[in-house]
Structure 1
Amino acid sequence: MLGRGVWSSLRQGLSRGLSRKVGGWASGEGRKMDIAGIYPPVTTPFTATAEVDYGKLEENLHKLGAFPFRATQATVEMTVSMAQVGADAAIVVTPCFYRGRMSSAALIHHYTKVADLSPIPVVLYSVPANTGLDLPVDAVVTLSQHPNIVGIKDSGGDVTRMGLIVHKTGRQDFQVLAGSAGFLLASYAVGAVGGVCALANVLGAQVCQLERLCLTGQWEDAQKLQHRLIEPNTAMKQRAAPWEERMCAAVLALCMPSCLTLHSVPPPVPTLGTHSGMPGTPFCCLGCGLSHPRSGLMSPYCPA
């Protein structure tokens, strides 16, 4: 679920002044909802005094760990309840039980019912590495015509598929988001409008810079930065369990655009991979060659 203010704050903070035109649509112009931009999948709550609210963050992490894969009616109920507490949109993952029966028709039926009954816009979510199921392109094209479905987060990494979706939905009010920073540049090149990237929870400033370079046509610099982001992105996927990714983001005390300075007391740098017995490696020392400013938009504290 995407909380109120996350969409609007990130769009205003990260993409102000940048122009984009995909499939005949100018940035945000006439859309049901503009979902372009970079989004960290785990946000950091703050107190009224702009301090990281660690109590609320711990509470949120426990809730994230309890979210199940739900049937259609349960998905509708959860979407409605999230809308009631202020979510602006819902990212709805593909159901993955009885995968052999999850035909295009079954998935279209599922998402159509959810979108029909959801009081907030729906974003499709295809993540085959975790569900074993890829939302078929023909189903995406059909669902793109639904008035309450505004886009898809595609984490499969198949850039050809993403480009085909952009092409086939070009006449619809429908947007494509990359599901990883590992193929973000390629996604922009084929018409994606942004990404929901776990790496943005740790290297937010660099991921947002990659977005800016792509949107302003600085492809050579974008390519260099994309190459430098691949190693830390791969390290997060290979060496960190999902829970550790969330805790890494929490310990690094990330900032949202409304708070331009970090927590006053620099937190310790976590290690990755200790859950599997591998030697722990400080994330800031993975050899990616990236700079780690001590302040700025969504930048983690990292000792020299």
Structure 2
Amino acid sequence: MRDLSGVHPPVATPFGEDGELALDAFDNNLREWLSHPVAGIVVAGSTGEAPLLDRRELCALVETTAARIGDRTLTVGTGAESTREVISVTREVAGLGANAVLVRSGSYYLKAMKPDVVRDHFLAVADASPVPVVLYHIPQFVPVHLTPDLVGRLAEHPNIIGIKDSSGDLRNLGQLIEACGRNAQVLVGSGALLYAALEAGAVGGILGVAVVATRSSCQIYDAWREGDHRRAGAMQERVAPLHKRLVAEGGIVSVKAALDRLGLYGGPPRSPLQPADAARLADVDAALEAAALGVSA
């Protein structure tokens, strides 16, 4: 089983003022993110505006990342409403260098998403995928609850190796850890909970805040792994407010504005999302100043 331990930034997708993918800017950003001891990169996660990308763009992002990532893990979000589409995209990105895929449940036909339907969806993807599958639990965007019981049963499949839990609920995270046992690894999705999640038994995190505070997020993990709990806790106290203001409250728009402020390329979000207004930019500046953190800090 591929080891997912560590910090995986779910990287932002840069667009130019014309709305087209800005691959050169993406490649430059990758150089910075990969200069830190991240365990891997996640392309086309929520922070990467996954639902707003077409397949051509997704493949270009995967190829660019695969050319740079070396032996670290390249995880690609391949969630879609139909099981057929998930399998098709998964096979394509695996052929381009993805080491794992991050897969959500469908939710458009929410009332039909009963536990057995969701189970069959993930099992079909796991059966067909050439690379390991990481389940994606993000109830704020996909209101299908992946219960610990269901996840525990899915984790028995040899090609399902983990779950990203973005519920923000430590109790739920603990139940998922218990349900997965040795069959699958659990990654936390909240940058405010990394230290607590590691203490509970998670192996790392796919953290939106790590796109902005890459080094600091890695330092939390490294300090915890080295048994320096005081330092890990102190770093977590600095990162948590940044997560709250930039990721939980501000979302993609604030993350991209923060990247611009820090000398990387954030650029505009894709329509219908709108760029940060003056008030949002002021809040981003205040959050960065209060944390005294950044991609290189």
- Answer whether TM exceeds 0.5 for this pair: yes
Distance apart, 1:162 and its partner CA = 1.4
Q: Is the 8 A contact 1:229 1:288 kept in 2?
A: no
Distance apart, 1:33 and its partner CA = 0.5
Q: 1:180 to 1:277 in 2, by over 3 A?
A: same
Q: 1:186 to 1:238 in 2, by over 3 A?
A: closer
For the residue of structure 2 that corresponds to 1:286, the secondary structure is: helix
Q: Deviations over 1:259-301 (max 9, x none)?
A: xxxxxxxx8999xx963662522745427654447xxxx516x
Q: 1:288 to 1:243 in 2, by over 3 A?
A: closer
Alignment pair present for 1:191 and 2:198? no
Report the counterpart of residue 42 of structure 1 in structure 2. 11
Q: 1:229 to 1:170 in 2, by over 3 A?
A: same
Distance apart, 1:141 and its partner CA = 0.3
Distance apart, 1:167 and its partner CA = 1.7
CA distance in 2: counterparts of 1:196 and 1:168, whole angstroms: 20
CA distance in 1: counterparts of 2:13 and 2:82, whole angstroms: 29
For the residue of structure 1 that corresponds to 2:118, the secondary structure is: helix
For the residue of structure 2 that corresponds to 1:96, the secondary structure is: coil
Q: Is the 8 A contact 2:154 2:160 kept in 1?
A: yes
Report the counterpart of residue 296 of structure 2 in structure 1. 299
Q: 1:289 to 1:151 in 2, by over 3 A?
A: same
In structure 2, runs of 5+ residues without a counterpart are: 15-22, 30-43, 55-78, 269-273
In structure 1, runs of 5+ residues without a counterpart are: 1-31, 46-51, 255-266
Larger Rg: 1
Q: 1:56 to 1:214 in 2, by over 3 A?
A: closer
Report the counterpart of residue 76 of structure 2 in structure 1. none
Distance apart, 1:57 and its partner CA = 7.2
Letter in 1 for 2:116: A
Residue identity (%) = 29
Report the counterpart of residue 151 of structure 1 in structure 2. 162
Q: Is the 8 A contact 2:8 2:207 kept in 1?
A: yes
Q: Deviations over 1:198-251 (max 9, x none)?
A: 111111111111111222222232222212212111111355342552464467
Scaled by the length of structure 1, what TM-score is found? 0.70
Alignment pair present for 1:118 and 2:129? yes
Q: Deviations over 1:15-70 (max 9, x none)?
A: xxxxxxxxxxxxxxxxx11111101101789xxxxxx9327679x97877325732
Scaled by the length of structure 2, what TM-score is found? 0.71
Q: Deviations over 1:78-132 (max 9, x none)?
A: 1011111111110001211222221221111000000100111100000001112
CA distance in 2: counterparts of 1:268 and 1:241, whole angstroms: 13
RMSD: 3.2
CA distance in 1: counterparts of 2:266 and 2:256, whole angstroms: 15
Q: 1:81 to 1:250 in 2, by over 3 A?
A: farther
Q: Is the 8 A contact 2:257 2:284 kept in 1?
A: no
Report the counterpart of residue 212 of structure 2 in structure 1. 202
Structure with the largest fraction of helix: 2
Report the counterpart of residue 28 of structure 1 in structure 2. none
